[in-house]
Chains A and B, each alone.
Chain A
Amino acid sequence: DTEVTQTPKHLVMGMTNKKSLKCEQHMGHRAMYWYKQKAKKPPELMFVYSYEKLSINESVPSRFSPECPNSSLLNLHLHALQPEDSALYLCASSQGLTERGYKYGYTFGSGTRLTVV
């Protein structure tokens, strides 16, 4: 299995809703990431998990709450979002954060297209 699977593919939510995005990989990768991407722009890093521990939080608003239940799963819990949070949310994984792993690329999922109304 060489894929990162993200669900759902599309999500429309109101500003008062609570929803979760899910990400799963079975490649044995020990680093997992959440990125946010606006149209025609590069992905922007939100969170990094290394060995199931939060390693980097790029000053993301608390209405986004990540969770890593185990080495294969990554969730992003959403609450009280704003319309400007509408974007493509990408999950990615990689072999790790060590120097030995720097040659390896990230494997990205297809993303969740989120619309906040």
Chain B
Amino acid sequence: TQLLEQSPQFLSIQEGENLTVYCNSSSVFSSLQWYRQEPGEGPVLLVTVVTGGEVKKLKRLTFQFGDARKDSSLHITAAQPGDTGLYLCALRRLGGTSYGKLTFGQGTILTVHP
């Protein structure tokens, strides 16, 4: 079973629409990170959420961390073609033999059509 369940896997929308990507787990996170990856490039960190209930905004992107720290969402307002890419949530392990390991969700491939 996946440690992180990310949905949807694919999202194809028109410019100007809003969208939400979800990341869920049955375990409590100490922190969660969101990355965006463009074709031919490595993932780039967008945000780290740490506190339950936390909301962070990055221009048209809003990130939310659930109160119980078991889920997170990314909401994009008025999507633009430049938002196209692979969006990844990631969990950084802090215990056991996997200490420090960054584990990714399955990813959401977003395509925004002009």
The answer to whether A and B belong to the same complex is yes
Query: Which A residues contact B (CB, under 8 angstroms)?
Result: 4, 31, 33, 40-43, 45, 48, 50, 55-56, 90, 92, 94, 96-97, 99, 101-111, 113
> Using a CB–CB distance below 8 Å, which chain B residues touch chain A?
30-31, 33, 35, 40-45, 48, 50, 86, 88, 92, 94, 97-107, 109
Q: Measured between alpha carbons, how far is A109 from B37 in the docked complex, in Å? A: 11
Q: Which residues of A contact B30 (CB under 8 A)?
A: 102
Q: Are B102 and A45 touching (Cβ within 8 A)?
A: yes
Q: Is the CB of B43 within 8 A of A108?
A: yes
Cβ-neighbour of B48 out of A96, A103, A110, A113 (below 8 A): A103
Q: How far is the CA of A43 from the CA of B31 in the complex (A)?
A: 19
A56 to B99, CA, bound (A): 9
Q: A101-B100, A108-B43 are in contact. List 8 more A-B contacts (CB 8 A).
A: A31-B100, A41-B106, A42-B107, A45-B101, A90-B43, A97-B99, A102-B94, A111-B41
Bound state CA distance, A105 and B33, in angstroms?
Answer: 7
Q: Are A99 and B41 closer than 8 Å at their CB atoms?
A: no
Q: What are some 19 contacts across the A-B interface (CB < 8 A)? A: A4-B42, A31-B100, A40-B107, A43-B88, A45-B101, A45-B102, A50-B100, A55-B99, A56-B97, A90-B42, A102-B92, A103-B31, A103-B48, A103-B50, A106-B102, A110-B40, A110-B41, A110-B42, A111-B42
Query: Are A106 and B41 in contact (CB-based, < 8 A)?
Result: no
- B106 close to A106 (CB less than 8 A): no
Contacts of B48 in A (CB 8 A): 103-105
User: Which A residues lie within 8 Å of B50 (CB)?
Assistant: 103
Contact A56 B98 (CB under 8 A): yes
